[in-house]
């Protein structure tokens, strides 16, 4: 199966610019060391495919099932997430040997048609972790005064700043995935939702636009903020009351990213903001966040007019992460993949600059807690027409 080889190889490609010490970093509980990601994505195939479907399979190490279980309580007690950075052993070389062991053992299963849905789930799971590897690495490197560089900078031109408003009709819209290709279970079932009508912005909010909110005191004005958002932002030190990785020095703004610290590009799409910040800015701008049904409907109606839909920023919506009508998680431990997280989180749509090519789609539902902003998150505005 060529797709298996491609996805598994791409994970290692992401590690090529790094040294062994880079793979050990864990700067916060919500991040994980890259070495752990390398092992966990292999653990998935071992746990859900090799152990149940290859009676002759020999474990690489009897404790890896415990060390690299993320949150599947139906399988066993996971190793504490906050302590993943303490695992200096196994070494990086041992983890890479574990990956090779899994890849070799998987070969006989790759041609089994009955296992293709589960293999495809494992590959899409790995692609999610490829994105997490970059976001986690960036967060860890941001704590280093040297501010390391991972890749060259991307320049954004003023031509990308043209903004128009596209009309969303009132009526019933079809939302969710239906078809033979892969989708996560939280994208189903396809169902109908009522749209009240309105308008959606043709592009994402830029750094320059958001900078006006910052410089005009938006972070000190509670009228723009939800109560939880105001409580959250007020709890942060002053230097963090702005988008993550932004810094002002001698009246000049800069932002840290995978290309290192760069002067703030006013034309670049805003990045690394929480739901609370997105919502506050939208109110300040006289607009609002789109619902996920509005976002998906707009993506279907205006695939050419909507800029930066995919491969740019995950886009916060106004929708809480809840199951669609009729949703049922898969049976067994693999059913813990999405369903049990449908509480207290908000939906994001699109994909980011760190999302693997081909991994995003119109129905994809990403989700994070409203205060989280270490992902490549931005926003697209919507507004009512009344």
| Number of H-type helices and E-type strands within the chain | 10, 12
Average pLDDT of adjacent 10-residue blocks, the chain of 386 residues: 95 98 98 98 97 97 96 90 97 98 98 96 98 98 97 67 91 95 95 97 97 98 98 97 97 97 96 98 98 98 96 98 93 80 96 96 98 98 91
Cα–Cα distance for residue pair 35/24, rounded to 1 Å = 6
The angle, 0 to 180 degrees and rounded to 10, between the axes of the packed helices 275-284 and 207-215 is 80
Side-chain-facing half-sphere of 10: CA atoms under 13 Å: 22
CA distance 356 to 6: 11
Given its phi and psi angles, is residue 110 left (phi above 0), alpha (psi -120 to 50 degrees) or beta?
Answer: alpha
Q: What is the pLDDT of residue 1?
A: 76
Highest CATH level, class, for 158-383: alpha beta
Please report the pLDDT score of residue 162 as a whole number: 82
Widest CA span in the chain: 66
**Buried/exposed 336-357: b ≥16 CB within 10 Å, e otherwise:** bbbeeebeebbbbbbbbbbbbe
């Amino acid at each position: 199966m060529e797709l298996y080889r491609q996805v598994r190889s791409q994970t290692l490609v992401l590690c090529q610019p790094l040294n062994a010490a880079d793979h050990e970093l864990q700067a916060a509980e919500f991040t994980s060391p890259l070495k752990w990601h390398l092992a966990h994505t292999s653990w998935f195939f071992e746990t859900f495919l090799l152990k149940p479907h290859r009676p002759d399979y020999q474990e690489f190490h009897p404790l890896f099932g415990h060390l690299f279980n993320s949150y599947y309580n139906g399988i066993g007690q996971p190793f504490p997430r906050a302590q993943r950075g303490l695992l200096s052993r196994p070494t990086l070389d041992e983890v890479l040997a574990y990956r090779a062991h899994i890849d070799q053992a998987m070969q006989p299963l790759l041609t089994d048609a009955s296992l293709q849905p589960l293999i495809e789930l494992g590959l899409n799971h790995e692609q999610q972790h490829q994105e997490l590897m970059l976001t986690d690495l960036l967060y860890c490197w941001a704590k280093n005064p040297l501010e390391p560089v991972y890749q060259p900078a991307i320049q954004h031109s003023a031509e990308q700043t043209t903004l128009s408003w596209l009309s969303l009709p009132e009526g019933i819209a079809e939302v969710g995935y239906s078809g033979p290709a892969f989708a996560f279970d939280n994208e189903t079932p396809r169902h109908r939702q009522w749209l009240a009508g309105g308008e959606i912005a043709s592009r994402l909010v830029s750094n320059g636009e958001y900078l006006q909110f910052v410089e005009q005191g938006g972070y000190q004005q509670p009228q723009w903020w939800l109560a939880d958002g105001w409580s959250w932002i007020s709890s942060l030190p002053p230097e963090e009351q702005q988008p993550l990785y932004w810094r002002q020095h001698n009246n000049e703004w800069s932002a840290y990213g995978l290309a290192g610290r760069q002067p703030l590009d006013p034309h670049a799409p805003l990045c690394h903001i929480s739901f609370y910040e997105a919502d506050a800015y939208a109110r300040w701008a006289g607009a609002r966040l789109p619902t996920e049904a509005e976002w998906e409907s707009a993506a279907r109606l205006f695939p050419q007019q909507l800029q930066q839909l995919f491969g740019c920023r995950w886009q916060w919506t106004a929708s809480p992460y809840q199951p669609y009508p009729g949703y049922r998680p898969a049976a067994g431990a693999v059913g813990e993949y999405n369903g049990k997280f449908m509480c207290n989180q908000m939906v994001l749509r699109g994909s980011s600059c760190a999302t693997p090519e081909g991994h995003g789609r119109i129905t994809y539902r990403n989700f994070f807690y409203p205060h989280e902003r270490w992902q490549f998150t931005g926003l697209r505005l919507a507004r009512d027409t009344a």
